[in-house]
Chains A and B, each alone.
Chain A
Amino acid sequence: QKEVEQNSGPLSVPEGAIASLNCTYSDRGSQSFFWYRQYSGKSPELIMFIYSNGDKEDGRFTAQLNKASQYVSLLIRDSQPSDSATYLCAVKDYQLIWGAGTKLIIKP
């Protein structure tokens, strides 16, 4: 059974601070990794994609991948109240396996 694990939270972070979201996965054959954001009552939307070890930056978002440790993370710099949402980690081998998500709350 392929699994993607995330801390359900909620993770509470002060506005302007760095939010760090973590995800571990069980399938060593996984090749690509996605972070989706889901606002309450809305559908998921893709915010980051990574497939190589190391860091990938896009604006305030940085995805970090360590395949040896089977670990992927998402950093959000200068957190804003609008970043408050559930962040879903999804891992792809031949199919996409989803984590349960981490609820992030940014406190003004």
Chain B
Amino acid sequence: SQQGEEDPQALSIQEGENATMNCSYKTSINNLQWYRQNSGRGLVHLILIRSNEREKHSGRLRVTLDTSKKSSSLLITASRAADTASYFCATDRTNDYKLSFGAGTTVTVRA
């Protein structure tokens, strides 16, 4: 069963705008990760946030984690056409490195 659920399922924004997507999960986690998948390609790891962290940055990416609400958000600032992709959150529940993935958010950045 899926541990994480992303919201919204799809998002369309103008180039230069910010994109925000959310992930909710059901059980306690050790860490939460975000991945990007371009059409027809494999998933690429973006960022990992541990359960004792609340916010993390990587370039134009900002991830927050609220363990009390069992939720995370991914913010992409100043979006570009190359950011068009599907984004997945994945949770590591038991520190055994088996990730559970959500169904993803499809982001389209319009030029």
Are both chains from one complex? no
B residues sitting closer than 8 Å to A (CB atoms) are none
Query: CB within 8 Å of B: which residues of A?
Result: none
